[in-house]
């Protein structure tokens, strides 16, 4: 090998994502296995349908999930933490709009011991009041820190501007909402959504037959919880406010947060995969149009980005940055100038090729480890997509043309629909 010569760059023709092994256990719980690891480590992801879209009170879904580790009939909170630490395991708890996640990382040789803890916290949590008060106090402190940040204030103002006060996205959490959380409220949510009839399990890493057998014994043989209940999908209408600009004042702010946004299409829309390419070119990576102009050329900000976030029934196309108060107006005008260019001029083939290579490289990196593969297949489930989504993504990136980019910009980057949300110090 001659190391003085650059290796030949090869185009990614196709990439094959390791397909999962899907089965349904005797009690009806779907089990998905991604057996791809070389290290003796395994990850268990247990998903329950039910997030803040289903909650009857603010923060109910979040704390029902968060409190699982704070004590069960078999283990106290301290014993759960000590046992997992002793066996080198790691537990993550999170919740989203429509799902709750319980994730355990474990060494294979101690899987029986760590699974015992996992089974206990899922099947018999206690939601003890003393631990709940401690968790709530810590979360209130974090909330108070967040409400002092202009980015946080602008983000929630944008959501309310686009979705309205009655939509889950537009309902502000206030400090008083934390004090309304009780153990009974959490048990109500847990009893409704945490059961075998509303459960999905993913196993990834170096998955042995013994590990699969233990999962089936713990979670797959006998129904658990109120398993006859079925998740009801909730739909919320949304209505944007009529104002074009929304300002939230923060008198002591050194900088202003600027967010421009509009509702947009879902991942299932035929245009979405090629729209991803446009948004990446516009503001989705370090070499994007917005970064090159507003950071590199004008020096208005350290960073600016564009992307699409998704909520049940809606997408949100957003542009986000922070800048000195005096640069807010010129920055917004430069964003609109970049939109005009994309709508009126065709992208140069060289620039489009650069964006393609970036996106293809990201695809390869995102699906190279067993745990990232598990994330990918969970994404398919929670987004309501089919297994061919990844192949279609690759095809869209490779085939999109400059003319299609221009047409998509005209269709989806509509300046008239963008709300302008600013949080910061009001200038005289």
Q: pLDDT tens digits for 321-354?
A: 999 999 999 999 999 999 999 999 999 999 999 9
Q: What is the CA radius of gyration of the chain?
A: 24
Residue 272 lies in a domain: yes
Are 350 and 384 part of one and the same domain?
A: yes
Are 276 and 375 part of one and the same domain?
A: yes
Each residue of 281-324: pLDDT tens digit? 999 999 999 999 999 999 999 999 999 999 999 999 999 999 99
Are 30 and 176 part of one and the same domain?
A: yes
Averaged pLDDT, 262-279: 97
Residue 64 lies in a domain: yes
Are 175 and 264 part of one and the same domain?
A: no
Are 262 and 199 part of one and the same domain?
A: no
User: Residue 164, Cβ neighbours under 10 Å: how many?
Assistant: 17
Query: What pLDDT score was predicted for residue 175?
Result: 96
| Separation CA 288–CA 26 (nearest Å) | 50
User: Does the pLDDT of residue 165 top 90, yes or no?
Assistant: yes
Contacts 24+ apart (CB under 8 A), 56-59: 56/188, 56/189, 57/177, 57/180, 57/181, 57/185, 58/171, 58/173, 58/177, 58/180, 59/173, 59/177, 59/178, 59/180, 59/181
Residue 60 lies in a domain: yes
**Domain finish residue from 221, 254, 281:** 221
Percent of the chain whose predicted confidence (pLDDT) is above 70: 98
Lowest mean pLDDT among 85-94, 141-150, 226-235, 379-388: 226-235
Residue from 187, 178, 115, 195 nearest 141 by CA: 178
**Domain finish residue from 206, 221, 236:** 221
Each residue of 392-417: pLDDT tens digit? 999 999 999 999 999 999 999 999 99
Are 162 and 208 part of one and the same domain?
A: yes
Structural domains in the chain (count): 2
User: Does the pLDDT of residue 9 top 90, yes or no?
Assistant: no
| Separation CA 233–CA 229 (nearest Å) | 13
Each residue of 106-132: pLDDT tens digit? 999 999 999 999 999 999 999 999 999
Are 80 and 157 part of one and the same domain?
A: yes
Residue 6 lies in a domain: no
pLDDT band at 13 (very low <50, low <70, confident <90, very high): low
Which of the pair, 132 or 14, is modelled with greater confidence?
132
Are 175 and 289 part of one and the same domain?
A: no
pLDDT band at 428 (very low <50, low <70, confident <90, very high): low
Residue 3 lies in a domain: no
Are 281 and 416 part of one and the same domain?
A: yes
User: Does the pLDDT of residue 1 top 80, yes or no?
Assistant: no
Residue 231 lies in a domain: no
The domain in which residue 92 lies consists of 21-221
Q: Which residues contact 307 (CB under 8 A, 6 or more apart)?
A: 279, 283, 284, 317, 318, 320
Prediction pTM value:
0.92
Are 175 and 304 part of one and the same domain?
A: no
Are 274 and 187 part of one and the same domain?
A: no
pLDDT band at 160 (very low <50, low <70, confident <90, very high): very high
Residue 43 lies in a domain: yes
pLDDT band at 234 (very low <50, low <70, confident <90, very high): confident
The chain-wide mean pLDDT, for the chain, equals: 95
Are 190 and 287 part of one and the same domain?
A: no
Q: What is the CATH number of the domain that holds 261?
A: 3.30.830.10
**Domain finish residue from 172, 188, 221:** 221
Residue 191 lies in a domain: yes
Lowest mean pLDDT among 165-174, 284-293, 295-304, 360-369: 360-369
């Amino acid at each position: 090998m001659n190391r003085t010569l650059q290796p030949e760059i090869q185009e990614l023709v196709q990439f094959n994502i390791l397909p999962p092994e899907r089965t349904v256990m005797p009690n009806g719980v779907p089990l998905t296995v991604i057996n791809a690891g070389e290290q003796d480590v395994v990850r268990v992801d247990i998903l329950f349908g039910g997030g803040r879209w289903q909650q009857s009170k603010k923060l109910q879904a979040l704390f029902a999930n968060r409190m699982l580790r704070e004590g069960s009939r078999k283990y106290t909170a301290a014993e759960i933490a000590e046992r997992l630490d002793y066996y080198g395991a790691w537990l993550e708890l999170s919740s989203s709009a429509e799902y709750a996640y319980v994730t355990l990382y474990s060494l294979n040789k101690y899987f029986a011991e760590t699974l015992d803890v996992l089974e206990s916290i899922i099947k018999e949590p206690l939601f003890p009041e003393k631990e709940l008060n401690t968790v709530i106090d810590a979360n209130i402190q974090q909330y108070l820190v967040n409400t002092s940040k202009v980015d946080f204030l602008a983000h929630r103002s944008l959501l309310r501007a686009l979705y309205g006060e009655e939509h889950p996205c537009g309902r502000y959490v206030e400090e008083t909402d934390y004090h309304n959380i009780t153990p009974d409220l959490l048990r109500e949510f847990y009893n409704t959504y945490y059961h075998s009839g509303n459960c999905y399990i993913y196993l990834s890493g170096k998955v042995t037959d013994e590990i699969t057998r233990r999962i089936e014994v713990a979670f797959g043989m006998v129904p658990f919880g109120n398993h006859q209940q079925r998740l009801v999908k909730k739909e919320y209408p949304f209505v944007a406010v009529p104002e074009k600009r929304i300002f939230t004042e923060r008198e002591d702010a050194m900088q202003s947060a600027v967010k421009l946004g509009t509702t947009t299409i879902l991942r299932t829309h035929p245009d979405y995969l090629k729209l991803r390419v446009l948004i990446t070119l516009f503001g989705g990576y370090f070499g994007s149009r917005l970064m090159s102009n507003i950071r590199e050329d004008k020096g208005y900000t350290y960073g600016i980005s564009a992307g699409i976030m998704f909520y049940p029934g809606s997408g949100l196309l957003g542009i986000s940055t922070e800048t000195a108060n005096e640069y807010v107006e010129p920055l917004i005008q430069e964003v609109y100038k970049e939109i005009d260019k994309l709508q009126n001029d065709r992208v140069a083939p060289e620039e489009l090729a650069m964006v393609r290579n970036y996106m293809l490289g990201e695809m390869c990196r995102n699906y190279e480890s067993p745990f990232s593969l598990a994330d990918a297949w969970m994404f398919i489930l929670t987004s309501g997509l089919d297994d061919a989504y990844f192949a279609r993504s690759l095809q869209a990136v490779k085939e999109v043309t400059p003319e299609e980019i221009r047409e998509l910009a005209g269709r989806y980057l509509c300046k008239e629909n963008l709300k302008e949300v600013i949080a910061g110090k009001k200038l005289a």
